[in-house]
Structure 1
Amino acid sequence: MSSQYNLTSNEKNVLIALEYLKDASPDELAEKAEMKMETAMQAAFLLEEKGLAQVEESVTEIFELTGEGKKYAEEGLPERQIINTISEPVSMDDLKEKFNPAIVGIATGWLRRKGWAGIENGMIVPTGNAQTSADEHALAAFAGEEKTFGELGADKNVINDLIKRKLVSKIENKQRTIKLTAEGKKLTDAGIVVEEELAQITSELLKSGEWMNKKFRPYNIHTAPKPIYGAKIHPYQRLIDQMRRIFLDMGFTEIKGEAIQSSFWNFDSLFQPQDHPAREMQDTFHLSSTSELPEEYKDNVCAMHEHGGDTESTGWGSKWSEEIACKNVLRTHTTALTIKYLADNPEPPIKAFSIDRAYRRETIDPTHTPEFEQLEGVVMDKDMSFSNLLGCLSEFYHRMGFEDVRFRPGYFPYTEPSVEPEVYVDGLGWVELGGAGVFRKEVTHPLGIKYPVLAWGLGVSRLAMLKLGLKDLRQLYHSDIDWLRKSEVCQL
């Protein structure tokens, strides 16, 4: 009869043990069945699925006094200690001289809540009605021992208040009882034969032919296997690697640089005025250190800012300060790297990009973080045009899997003309993903760059949110092992 259930030897041994024990705890079952408790319970749960055994669970709540609770059970609650010492109005300052200020602070609210005293003009005024409260009765009921709720005989709200005051702690004691069902009883009454079962065939069994006389453990093809999560690259890093691969395949050179940059390279070389709001403390991480200015460029940049140098530009018309330009900052964009790379390599052709971290004083929310990754790129060559820029960016976004790409006119301090690339996403519509343009003469001329420079800065994290279907930017940086395990390696 047991064969119809495909019982394993462990399940048979548990059934035989339950026949003698009737109702058994996990420890009793394991001892009788001569198994480890984990093995016995695994077999019991399998028997429960087959309707041959029943596993009942019960939870008993046990309460005990904390260290602070034991102290107050002996000395009295803070409000009791104070009310027992006053019979007339007394000032808070006088109480703090007599008692620990922390106790006075705790007691004040409870004195008012229990109606034992009021507060008038900074004075504690007793009401004359300070009978033993329910929480005091509850503390006394513990008598220094662990108690169940029924043994305490207290109101549930009173116990909860004591738990909130950290005077009582609650422990949940889970208990399991295993017993036979009627169907299991029929099976044991009919008799159960425990045979040795093999889980795996070996070469020795095959050679000797003994496998023909052995009983093999049945294999349930409907049992879900334990999930196995293979090692894989973090989804965000995978996307960054994909972007890097696209630009490398397009013939670009990757550049790297320091996170700490002088204001000269981060702002001034990009023709950003020294009184621009983006330089303020609320937008930029300023450091106490400074850097030396490049002698070959600082005079040209100064002239460009003050009056436009020897170009047709009028500059900003204000005094340029070397002291401000020397101050170090955490780079607010990776453009600081690409402009310096262009200054060091002024001869065409140049095709360079960087994917690195930038820093801004942003309030953390679902779409902003103080640290973020930026994809920066430049192309410098003879006869480069605005249409070349649009074609380059369109190619990148197409390779990233976005079919529809468009460009909207934009404004940026150091490019003209300027655009904001947008991609179409089902359910969201057109989404802006960065800024691009052609460097202004005010940027390139002081650095000795004589040819057009196409430049762009793209938000890597925003692009990652779209590709990974996230609504909160912070998820990219959370250590959520479940999300990492279940994230798709390839999205088609």
Structure 2
Amino acid sequence: MTPKYNITSNEKNVLISLERLGKASPGELAGKAGMKVETAMQAAFLLEEKGLAEVDETVTENYELTDEGRKYASEGLPERMVIEGISGPTPMQDLKQMFSPEVAGIATGWLRRKGWANIEDGVVVPTGKAVTGKDEQALAKFNGQARTPGELEADAGTIADLLKRKLAVRKEDKHRSVSITAQGLELVASGIVIEEEVAQISSEMLKSGQWKDLKFRPYNIHTKPKPVYGAKSHPYQRLIDQMRRIFLDMGFTEIKGEVVQSSFWNFDSLFQPQDHPAREMQDTFHLSSTSELPGEYKDNVCAMHEYGGDTDSTGWGGTWSEEIACRNVLRTHTTALTIRYLADNPEPPVKAFSIDRAYRRETIDPTHTPEFEQLEGVVMDKDMSFANLLGCLKEFYHRMGFEDVRFRPGYFPYTEPSVEPEVYVDGLGWVELGGAGVFRKEVTYPLGIKYPVLAWGLGVSRLAMLKLGLKDLRLLYQSDIDWLRRSEICQL
């Protein structure tokens, strides 16, 4: 009994044509079936999936001469022209006058490589051996036509030289043939009726009842559809937007600021000593420009650095330099923005954050780049405590999808007490994601801030690597269209 096949009218037409032709090229098959070549081959491939036809493909490799190759096949290779154009040792300068500088330059290397001449103190000295090479023999065999490796009678090394010298190019000719299988012949012998098929039902067919008498084209519901990649934002940008939304929902104000900051706001206002290693060239991008110091704060900051100002702090001692504080840098952290915002808004309550780029002289590797995003935040109000800081950060990480959050004691020059928040990731364990703490009075007092300030700086890119399952930070910034297409918009 002949198996039942679900085939379209186009497939039936092709199958009947194959039964008559036996084996045919795409053009022959299309002509016999009265179809376009593309339509006939689409039907042939569907028949092949069902075992009713076979599509054979052979690839023929051949080589063609380039314009330069045809020129040298006619006139001779540069090294041949040069060796036959000189009668003895010839200075390179004379060669460039006898031939073009381009020909002389090309010929020199190949003369040495083929052993036809030596170069001694800028003089080309023929060796007396200039037999016809395999490359010259191959060039002669082209005779203006495409040739296969067998027709050229050339070894792989000779062909590689012709390709390297751009005298020839490699091309592939694909030839297809379609034939009917035994199952196909059996199906044709059992009788095939070609009927008009409808691909899509219309409202008129439904109203008139015509659909009952029509034959519809069959569909394979198991065939996987072609993937459709909808428009979406970059995965890294989506995470940044998610972080921004979390803090906005928690009642924070987003702030922005300049990339170029004075050392005063980037370092001095944060009570970082002027001889601190972080200010050195290996960590900071220093600029040749300078900025004016804020008159209402510079004296207080100077006093705090030198002897602790009006507090019980002893400061750093020494002499604080206005010249150093004036120097501009590319901000090494976004704390320069939040401390400046606090100075401009000293009255509570203040809840502000920024997600922006910072710059440091880092060697690029899988976990470091000279540019990186940082999530900075501050809360200033009466009776703020260290416990409020931990609660705020824990809430943020929970909303980012991390269930287990803990805090490890840490040290930072401008906060006390200080902690490093960590989240637990399956397969990695506890991962540190930034730093946080309560601003020291040496930071707040000179700026007229009288209430506790909770502050944090979190690594955005490291958090993104965990959420996106990346092991190389650089992938966040590469234009890999395949990765962008496959990235999931929602991760459950």
The answer, yes or no, to whether TM exceeds 0.5 is: yes
Between 1:77-86 and 1:37-46, the stretch displaced more is 77-86
Residue in 1 that maps onto 2:437: 437
Cα distance in structure 1, aligned partners of 2:9 and 2:3: 11
Is the CA contact (8 Å cut-off) linking 1:2 and 1:192 kept in structure 2?
A: no
Cα distance in structure 2, aligned partners of 1:282 and 1:158: 52
User: 1:484: Cα distance to partner?
Assistant: 2.7
SS at match of 2:47: helix
Is the CA contact (8 Å cut-off) linking 1:338 and 1:376 kept in structure 2?
A: yes
Cα distance in structure 2, aligned partners of 1:153 and 1:77: 19
Cα distance in structure 2, aligned partners of 1:291 and 1:172: 65
User: 1:105: Cα distance to partner?
Assistant: 5.2
Cα distance in structure 1, aligned partners of 2:282 and 2:370: 11
Question: Structure 1 45/384 Cα, relative in aligned 2: closer, same or farther at 3 Å?
Answer: same
Correspondence 1:427 to 2:422: no
Residue in 1 that maps onto 2:477: 477
SS at match of 1:408: strand
SS at match of 2:204: helix
Residue in 1 that maps onto 2:177: 177
User: 1:75: Cα distance to partner?
Assistant: 4.2
Is the CA contact (8 Å cut-off) linking 1:409 and 1:418 kept in structure 2?
A: yes
Cα distance in structure 1, aligned partners of 2:83 and 2:249: 81
Residue in 2 that maps onto 1:53: 53
Deviations 1:189-230 (A, max 9, x none): 444321011222223223323222221222322222333344
Query: Structure 1 length as normaliser, TM-score?
Result: 0.90
User: 1:343: Cα distance to partner?
Assistant: 0.5
Deviations 1:447-471 (A, max 9, x none): 1112222211111111011111111
Is the CA contact (8 Å cut-off) linking 1:116 and 1:130 kept in structure 2?
A: yes
Residue in 2 that maps onto 1:41: 41
SS at match of 1:4: coil
Cα distance in structure 2, aligned partners of 1:180 and 1:405: 66
Task: Give the letter for the 1:28 counterpart.
Answer: E
Cα distance in structure 1, aligned partners of 2:8 and 2:491: 42
Cα distance in structure 1, aligned partners of 2:62 and 2:321: 71
Deviations 1:66-114 (A, max 9, x none): 2333343344434334444556556666656766666555444433432
Correspondence 1:248 to 2:248: yes
Is the CA contact (8 Å cut-off) linking 2:2 and 2:186 kept in structure 1?
A: no
Residue in 2 that maps onto 1:462: 462
Residue in 2 that maps onto 1:163: 163
Question: Structure 1 165/324 Cα, relative in aligned 2: closer, same or farther at 3 Å?
Answer: farther
Question: Structure 1 31/478 Cα, relative in aligned 2: closer, same or farther at 3 Å?
Answer: farther
Cα distance in structure 1, aligned partners of 2:418 and 2:139: 73
Cα distance in structure 2, aligned partners of 1:97 and 1:441: 80
Between 1:303-312 and 1:390-399, the stretch displaced more is 303-312
Question: Structure 1 390/43 Cα, relative in aligned 2: closer, same or farther at 3 Å?
Answer: same
SS at match of 1:310: coil
Task: Give the letter for the 1:454 counterpart.
Answer: L
Question: Structure 1 428/126 Cα, relative in aligned 2: closer, same or farther at 3 Å?
Answer: farther
Deviations 1:380-408 (A, max 9, x none): 22333333322322222222222332333
Deviations 1:384-436 (A, max 9, x none): 33333223222222222223323333332322332222222121122111112
Is the CA contact (8 Å cut-off) linking 2:256 and 2:337 kept in structure 1?
A: yes
The 5 A counterparts of 1:272-421 are: 272-421=272-421
Deviations 1:104-142 (A, max 9, x none): 554444334323334556665543322121112222222
Deviations 1:134-191 (A, max 9, x none): 1122222223332222222211221012212222211122221122222223333444
Cα distance in structure 1, aligned partners of 2:274 and 2:135: 66
Task: Give the letter for the 1:196 counterpart.
Answer: E
Task: Give the letter for the 1:491 counterpart.
Answer: Q
Correspondence 1:221 to 2:227: no
Cα distance in structure 1, aligned partners of 2:401 and 2:490: 12
Residue in 1 that maps onto 2:194: 194
Between 1:7-16 and 1:414-423, the stretch displaced more is 414-423
Question: Structure 1 75/272 Cα, relative in aligned 2: closer, same or farther at 3 Å?
Answer: farther
Question: Structure 1 416/90 Cα, relative in aligned 2: closer, same or farther at 3 Å?
Answer: farther
Between 1:373-382 and 1:241-250, the stretch displaced more is 241-250
Cα distance in structure 1, aligned partners of 2:124 and 2:336: 64
Cα distance in structure 2, aligned partners of 1:248 and 1:25: 66
Q: What is the total number of aligned residue pairs between the two structures?
A: 492
Question: Structure 1 100/309 Cα, relative in aligned 2: closer, same or farther at 3 Å?
Answer: farther
Cα distance in structure 2, aligned partners of 1:317 and 1:123: 72
Deviations 1:209-261 (A, max 9, x none): 32222212223222223333444443222222222222223332222222232
SS at match of 1:13: helix
Question: Structure 1 305/77 Cα, relative in aligned 2: closer, same or farther at 3 Å?
Answer: farther
Between 1:173-182 and 1:381-390, the stretch displaced more is 381-390
Residue in 1 that maps onto 2:23: 23
Residue in 2 that maps onto 1:9: 9
Correspondence 1:148 to 2:137: no
Between 1:393-402 and 1:367-376, the stretch displaced more is 393-402
SS at match of 1:147: coil
Residue in 2 that maps onto 1:447: 447
User: 1:287: Cα distance to partner?
Assistant: 4.1
Task: Give the letter for the 1:174 counterpart.
Answer: K
| Alignment RMSD | 2.8
Is the CA contact (8 Å cut-off) linking 1:408 and 1:421 kept in structure 2?
A: yes
SS at match of 2:162: helix
Cα distance in structure 1, aligned partners of 2:116 and 2:140: 20
Ranges in structure 2 where 5+ consecutive residues have no aligned partner: none
Task: Give the letter for the 1:293 counterpart.
Answer: L
Between 1:63-72 and 1:420-429, the stretch displaced more is 63-72
Cα distance in structure 1, aligned partners of 2:98 and 2:444: 75
* Identical-residue share of aligned pairs (%): 80
Cα distance in structure 1, aligned partners of 2:388 and 2:97: 80
SS at match of 1:17: helix
Residue in 1 that maps onto 2:236: 236
Is the CA contact (8 Å cut-off) linking 1:92 and 1:124 kept in structure 2?
A: yes
SS at match of 1:264: helix
